[in-house]
Structure 1
Amino acid sequence: MDFRTIVDVPRPDFAIGPQEKILCVGSCFADSIGRRFAEEKFRATVNPFGVMYNPASILHTVERTDCAPRVAFFTLGTNHVYILNETGEIVDNCRKRPQRLFTERELTVDECIGYLRQAVDTLAKRDPEVQVVITVSPIRYAKYGYHGSQLSKAVLLMAADWMARMYQRCTYFPAYEIVLDELRDYRFYAPDMLHPSQQAVDYIWERLSEAYFSEEAKRFLEEWRPIKEALGHRPFNPDSDEYKAFLQKTHERMAALKERYPCLEV
């Protein structure tokens, strides 16, 4: 008997190599995955202008940054946007200004697609080989009501699906489905019962790396893991001969790895 519904993660027609240049833009879920890319020594730029929840704000970040990644991750959180009444422009952050200065509205599927297309096209002008992975954040927005949050996610899912089907350089990674269908238990949520727990994020990372990483990237991560753990070790006695020998051995392993991966920095 199988007591779990496993979400299929199709293997894309490209692979992420070790120390690849990565751009992660989107909701706080993008922050979580982006930090993991950085920890694993990918050259990751993560939300350089802060967390961006909707497709319009994702476009704004892409336009403002000069990053030219080989792989970009767009994590869509909501289709709700806030428009500054004075200018009629969508703002990325209300900066705690009075609510009366803004009008909230919801983007349509076509509007979401339009902003995402512009963002992808902008990156493609910088690197014609760029690949864009689109995800929908599994985080629910309680302030919209849970039914309203689901409606918002539905719009984003439809836009993401269109992009993955119609844009050859775009793929869809089912982070949303993994949390809702594979990890259907509150033990996979943070104490607020809305955000995925670290264990859930680790599992999503595992599924992502299985499908998207090249064999070379997987080998690099296997070699990097013990070095990363050793560097994070906090000894009881840092002046002991044993720890100094341990540290020397770690630095030697690090130097050997750096010879094969010159971009490696610690």
Structure 2
Amino acid sequence: MQFRTELFPTLSPHPISLDQGVMTLGSCFSDGMGQQLQQYKGRALVNPFGTVFNPLSAHALLTRSITYNTQDLHTGLVEREGLWFHYDFHSSFSHSQAEGLLAQLTEAIEQTHRFLEKTRVLLLTWGTAFVYERLDTGQPVSNCHKILQKQFTKRLLTVEEILQSFQQMQQLLQASFPAVKTVLTVSPVRHAKDTLVLNSVSKSTLRLAAHVAQEQMEHVSYFPAYELLLDDLRDYRFYGSDLLHPSPIAEAYIWEKFAAAFLDQEFNQFIKTWQQIQRDLAHRPFQPESQSHQRFLHQLLAKLQSLAEKVDVQTEIEFVKSQIKNS
């Protein structure tokens, strides 16, 4: 008897190898996926502008990075309680001086542009179809920075708006970096502040836009993170204590599905090897100076040194060396 419906994502026609760069951008789900890539020694740039929830803001930041445009950054500056923020960037970007903040933002854009030059995959996660727009300019913002809500209007984006913005960004991306493939996801995190009813409207808008984009562009694929949590796992056991975010078990399950569908065979094999090494590194013996443990450390060091040509394991090598006792 079957008690659940398991979802098997479509295998990517462009699987990611261990040495290929991956940039994640979007909602907090992008953080989790990017951190998993980094944990397994993948070359990943994770949410370089902080979390970005709505598609228009994500596309605008990518456009800035692709074209290396820092000319009009000052138009988004806002000051609150002695600190300067920018409407297009996460609140982790702040400074006591406007010039200092602009320097931070310019550096982030430059870093992202340089990474795009040598990356192969953009993992873009849309979080919500609701957007806040400034009353004074009509421009959408990525973050309101606790400015009074009366200075913004909130509305639901249309599928057409999202697609037009995405297509314009993709045209620039393909013209500048034609090797980059885009993987779209819709965040499975529910935005309860919009009410659960409107959250469904928002997510369905994003999902339809992602479907059309995938159908229209051969270099765009879709990873069903949203469906894996809501339809495959489909139980509150797989949510965190806030009942909105996926639990660690759910995150691990979604990651395993992503790895199976989007990482190549060599990368997946390396993940298994690295998981065992991580367990070895975490081992804490009762007798660290015993011959058996010292032999174990020498064997672990040899394993790490054999991987040094593929990935950066210098930190791990130095840690193991520090545990080996000179005879």
Using the size of structure 1 for normalisation, the TM-score is: 0.92
- What's the CA shift string for 1:108-143, capped at 9, x where partnerless? 101111222233333323421211110111111111
- Per-residue CA deviations over 1:191-211 (Å, capped at 9, x if unaligned) read 001100010011011111111
- Tell me, which stretches of 5 or more residues in structure 1 are unaligned? none
C-alpha contact 2:188 2:229 (8 A) present in aligned 1: yes
Q: Which runs of 4+ in 1 moved over 6 A?
A: none
Match of 2:11 in 1: 11
Residues matched between the structures, number: 265
* Gap change, CA 1:223 and 1:154, over 3 Å in 2: same
SS at match of 2:308: helix
Report SS of the residue matched to 1:104: strand
Corresponding residue number in structure 2 for 1:35: 35
- The match for 2:255 is 205
Matches within 5 A, 1:238-257: 243-257=293-307
Within a 5 Å distance, the mapping from 1:1-266 to structure 2 comes to 1-62=1-62, 63-64=64-65, 65-66=112-113, 67-68=115-116, 69-234=119-284, 243-259=293-309, 261=310, 266=315
One-letter identity of the residue aligned with 2:4:
R
Q: Is the 8 A contact 1:77 1:137 kept in 2?
A: yes
SS at match of 1:18: coil
Q: Distance in 1 between matches of 2:2 and 2:197?
A: 30
Identical aligned pairs, as a percentage?
A: 38
Matched to 1:228, the amino acid is Q
Distance across 2 between alignment mates of 1:121 and 1:258: 38
1:201-233 Cα deviation digits (max 9, x unpaired): 110111111111111111222222222232344
Q: What's the secondary structure of 2:131's corresponding residue?
A: strand
Moved more, 237-246 or 161-170: 237-246
Change (3 A) 1:226 1:83: same
**Could you tell me how far apart the structure 2 residues matched to 1:235 and 1:59 are?**
50
Paired residues of 1:58 and 1:119 also in contact (CA < 8 A)? no
Structure 2: how far apart are the matches of 1:128 and 1:264?
31
SS in 1 for 2:297: helix
Structure 2 residue ranges without an equivalent (≥5): 66-111, 316-327
Letter in 2 for 1:120: Q
Larger Rg: 2
RMSD of equivalent CA atoms: 1.9
Specify the code of the residue in structure 2 equivalent to 1:206.
Answer: E
**1:145–1:244 distance in 2 versus 1, CA, 3 Å:** same
CA distance in 2, matches of 1:241, 1:145: 61
Label 1:236 to 1:193 Cα distance change in 2 as closer, same or farther (>3 A). farther
Please give the TM-score of this superposition, normalised by the length of structure 2.
0.76
Conserved in 1, the CA contact under 8 Å of 2:238 and 2:249?
yes
